[in-house]
Structure 1
Amino acid sequence: MARQDGVITLEQAVESGMTAAAVSRRVKCGEWRRLTTGVYLRADRAVTAAVSLRAAVYAAGPGAVACGPSAAWWHGLLDRPPQQQWITIPTSRSVRERDGVRIRRRDLDWVDTSASRQLRVTGVPLSVLEAAVELRDGSVLMDRALQRHTSLPALEAVHQRHLGRRGSAAAGMLLRAAGEGGASEAERMLHRLLRRHGLTGWRPHVMSCGFEIDVAFVPERVAIEVDGWAWHRDVERFNRDTERQNILVNAGWHVLRFTWHHLRNDPEAVLSQICRALPRRS
């Protein structure tokens, strides 16, 4: 129970030498409390996000694993737990749907699952792919994972193993964007955004201080720099971009930086920041 955030199943208790009656006595005397059918929590433990996820997976029975955003959070790829629990169970079984728990039925290969802190979860590559297509800022999650936790070949391999699954097409598009780096496509997205909203007076690829600015409103001295996926940038590139931005600012440019993720996930916020940077036009 200590290794499982204070959670234990009836099956685990019996395997440890207890009887079902002994479990019932612990519940009646207030030492344990029942979370759901066959899953218990020590009374001195709070019902945390980790406890709730464990209870959902354990209650789903043999072969159940945390998946998608839940697994991504469990692996430390998300800062906050998702609002609902994402669970995969084998196709040969069914469980009753519960509020706050999303059940998917499919058979997973052993290579796509792992045990982490006494809980079965999908492996990092599959967790990243599934969470990326379910979350509004899923591309940011994938970018962060590629920087530290997995590789593009690993993501592409797991994608090929699960072609046709829910979200497969969207995942394929994200993988292509990640592989290309995204900078060129981000520029095209920015151009489309500016044209769609009728902003004029901007020019692409303007030279200043020996640097090429991606998009510039020259009279207003507003420079817009566009970045691709962060995992493509090494330390040398980061330092060079920082020096470049400082030089432009000292030369009187108001520099705005946007990433592929900003332009894809929140274009309205991008447009709002650009409009605020431009002096009021007559």
Structure 2
Amino acid sequence: MSFEALVEQQAGVVSLAQAVTCGISASTVRRWVGEGRWRRVRPAVFLVGGHRYTDEARVRAVALWAGPQGVITGPAAAYWHRMLEQAPAFIDLTVPAGRKPKPPAGVRLHRRDLDPADVRQRLGVRVAARPFAALETAVALPDGSVFLDRALQKHVPFAEVYRAYCRNMGRPGSAAAGRLLVAAADRADSAAERLLVRLLREAGIGGWVLGHPLGPYRIDLAFPAQRVAVEVDGWAYHVDPERFRNDRRKGNFITRSGWDLLRFTWHGLHTQPAESLREITDTLARAA
């Protein structure tokens, strides 16, 4: 690969070793840094002139500094898997337990031996596998439960996150991760329904009942007069395939019985309450 192609592939950052391999001497690199043509961003890692120091470049620079034994972990790994839109201010880096490098500024170092199942190579960077990255990021972020909900719905199955948790049980943060996963397994049946009830009451919307019987099922929240059913899809269906299939059979029965069916997730109710209420009120108006 040519030097130009390498620079393009790595978002403008290269290591000294890579430059030398491509035929650029160490003395030339030092001269270019002195002239301002290149910028030193990590020990023996440089940003080539004409390139912005983007989030991708920041993560790649840490990976290049760490070498083949380093693994990008935590929220930076979630960013690398596109589960977060931006890289964090501090890049988490995991190295084998026996190594003791001095971390440069902006790097949070973890000395631990990771299970091979928790490590992936993605776009030229050794990074925490998606389930492990989701779990660590949920613990690290202030809104970790919201992040985990979104990750489970869009990026990774619950069972894989749970297996990553089991592989890392007992490590720092595993207790908090366990609490998040316990909530994840059954959050909708309690928290989301309570949230929906609170939203309806605050909006002054009445005429609904909880657990309305219909055939062999009970509708989560029903407006019997308008024959509008509201079902809250929770996190439990990530755990139990039979629960998922039963929810779908229930939904089909509701619509075959002549009811309008609306489905919401805890995440949707939490992040878009106005839009959720608007959909309910619009459906009720049409039904009336």
- TM-score, normalised relative to structure 2: 0.69
Shift of residue 212, structure 1, vs aligned partner: 4.1
Q: 1:132·1:141 contact (CA, 8 Å) conserved in 2? A: no
93, 114, 120: which one pairs with 1:114? 120
Shift of residue 138, structure 1, vs aligned partner: 1.8
State how far apart, in whole Å, the 2-side matches of 1:241 and 1:207 are.
12
Shift of residue 245, structure 1, vs aligned partner: 7.1
State how far apart, in whole Å, the 1-side matches of 2:55 and 2:250 are.
39
Q: 2:212·2:220 contact (CA, 8 Å) conserved in 1? A: yes
Shift of residue 8, structure 1, vs aligned partner: 0.8
| 2:211 is the alignment partner of 1:205 | yes
State how far apart, in whole Å, the 2-side matches of 1:197 and 1:246 are.
25
Q: Alpha-carbon deviations, 1:223-282, whole Å to 9, x = none?
A: 32111246567998797677567668x75x5x543224446xx28x54884499569xxx
Name the amino acid aligned to 2:27. Answer: A
Shift of residue 129, structure 1, vs aligned partner: 1.5
Q: 2:221·2:229 contact (CA, 8 Å) conserved in 1? A: yes
Shift of residue 119, structure 1, vs aligned partner: 1.5
SS in 2 for 1:137: helix
State how far apart, in whole Å, the 1-side matches of 2:217 and 2:232 are.
14
| 2:154 is the alignment partner of 1:144 | yes
SS in 1 for 2:219: strand
State how far apart, in whole Å, the 2-side matches of 1:93 and 1:126 are.
23
Shift of residue 21, structure 1, vs aligned partner: 1.0
88, 93, 103: which one pairs with 1:95? 103
| 1:202–1:209 Cα change, 3 Å | same
State how far apart, in whole Å, the 1-side matches of 2:192 and 2:105 are.
43
| 1:275–1:17 Cα change, 3 Å | closer
Count of aligned positions:
262
2:57 aligned partner: 51
66, 78, 87: which one pairs with 1:82? 87
Stretches of structure 1 lacking an aligned partner (at least 5 in a row): none
SS in 1 for 2:156: helix
Q: 2:73·2:94 contact (CA, 8 Å) conserved in 1? A: no
State how far apart, in whole Å, the 1-side matches of 2:276 and 2:131 are.
34
1:186 aligned partner: 188
- TM-score, normalised relative to structure 1: 0.70
